[in-house]
Chain A
Amino acid sequence: QQPVQSPQAVILREGEDAVINCSSSKALYSVHWYRQKHGEAPVFLMILLKGGEQKGHEKISASFNEKKQQSSLYLTASQLSYSGTYFCGTGNSGGYQKVTFGTGTKLQVIP
């Protein structure tokens, strides 16, 4: 089943922070975050494994709450280059590579 992302869209001014949430109705083994700029292919940001770890990529970090079957992506001090659609993908098995992607969160950073 497809994970649910919220919000569906958000507009930020440069320097503002944002949080994108990803929820699954199934037990999670891993959560994957990708960003897709308009007209381009999705680009990998990070993977988190169950255990509640937090990872960071530039000023973008994420957490994974296995019990709640949720992950959140945190964007701090947003830059214009952060604009794009963010997809979370969920993996339900460690031995199988399939990732089920959510419908995406469209983020626009304005000056």
Chain B
Amino acid sequence: GAGVSQSPSNKVTEKGKDVELRCDPISGHTALYWYRQSLGQGLEFLIYFQGNSAPDKSGLPSDRFSAERTGGSVSTLTIQRTQQEDSAVYLCASSHGLAGLVWGNEQFFGPGTRLTVL
């Protein structure tokens, strides 16, 4: 079965440009997460979707970051006017999202998109 996929796997961009990162979750997973991981660092929460709604956007670093999810499936993370400090690996994860069920909480991670801002 297909896991979580992300594209592109690598993205090099110039400072000030906009970028779009895509995440295809596991089919049927209602919960979707975006994380950022800087070199040698932990997993920084960015945003969480339940279906197409984002009840928690508290981790988005600035208003240059936005995300949407359509059809309860694919999600796109957009970074406008990229800065060098945006360079990191952006990870997407999905889970069943069924509250109260332990097995619904396991997050399946995609391979990530490595973003480099020059």
On A, residues with C-beta under 8 Å from B are 2, 30, 32, 34, 40-44, 47, 49, 87, 89, 91, 94-104
- Is B42 in contact with A97, judged by CB distance below 8 angstroms? no
Write the nearest CB–CB distance from B107 to chain A, whole angstroms: 7
B residues in contact (CB < 8 Å) with A: 31, 33, 35, 41-45, 48, 50, 55-56, 91, 95, 97, 99-100, 102, 104-112
Docked Cα-Cα span, A41 to B5, in Å, equals: 11
Chain A residue contacts of B112, Cβ below 8 A: 41
A43 engages B109 (CB within 8 Å): yes
Residue in B31, B42, B110 whose Cβ sees the most chain A Cβ within 10 Å: B42
Contact of A103 among B42, B55, B102 (CB under 8 A): B42
* Bound form: Cα–Cα A98–B45 in Å: 9
Specify which chain B residues have a CB less than 8 angstroms from the CB of A99 in the assembled complex.
Answer: 33, 45, 105, 107
A41 pairs with B43, CB closer than 8 A: no
Interchain Cβ contacts under 8 Å between A and B, 23 examples = A30-B105, A32-B107, A40-B111, A41-B91, A41-B109, A41-B110, A42-B109, A44-B106, A47-B102, A49-B102, A89-B43, A95-B99, A96-B55, A96-B56, A97-B95, A97-B97, A97-B99, A98-B45, A99-B33, A99-B105, A99-B107, A101-B43, A104-B41
